[in-house]
Structure 1
């Protein structure tokens, strides 16, 4: 007797979640800001280097579950390492991950 079993393969999307301040969220939403920056730290190295994602969810602060008005869903476009000077990181140049969001 031949028995057939169906197997469901559930593939979860690989999503990178980025919480940002409202000013940066609005700039990303409008297309004005092409990259979101994160300092090169062990935390971000583990999350970015050698990994691939399907989507990036850019969040305005920490919205409640289901509040899609404050979440921009973008396709994963990768990242680059850069050295920048920005008031958010202080006055000295710092190495950052430039995560492509637009």
Structure 2
């Protein structure tokens, strides 16, 4: 089973877990292009930092539903417009899907 593991900061982890953050962003750079373009995964595992093996309280598991390319402005990326991979981490069956 191929998993995409995305460690995130606490604020984003809690938003993803509660369903208010439907996408997790990664910069469009060579590192992420090699890992995402043309690839498919079984699941996306969002982790609160880097949890110990077996610590399920710090993991959110979602089915892989791909990504879209977006241009966003966000303080994490220096408040400058950035081209990003917007990885779908929404709750399956959530309203608006």
Distance 2:67 2:57 in 1: 25
Give structure 1 regions of 4+ aligned residues with deviation exceeding 6 angstroms: none
RMSD (Å) for aligned C-alpha atoms: 0.5
Partner SS state of residue 91, structure 1: coil
Q: Distance in 1 between matches of 2:37 and 2:79?
A: 26
Instruction: Please say if 1:91 is aligned against 2:79.
Output: yes
- Shift of the alpha carbon at 1:31? 0.3
Cα deviation for residue 40 of structure 1 reads 0.5
Structure 2 unpaired stretches of 5+: 91-97
Higher-Rg structure is 1
Q: TM-score, normalised by structure 2?
A: 0.91
* Count of aligned pairs: 90
Q: Which residue of 2 aligns with 1:58?
A: 46
TM-score scaled by length of structure 1 = 0.87
What are structure 1's unaligned runs of at least 5 residues?
1-12
Aligned to 2:27: 39
Classify the secondary structure of the residue corresponding to 1:69.
helix
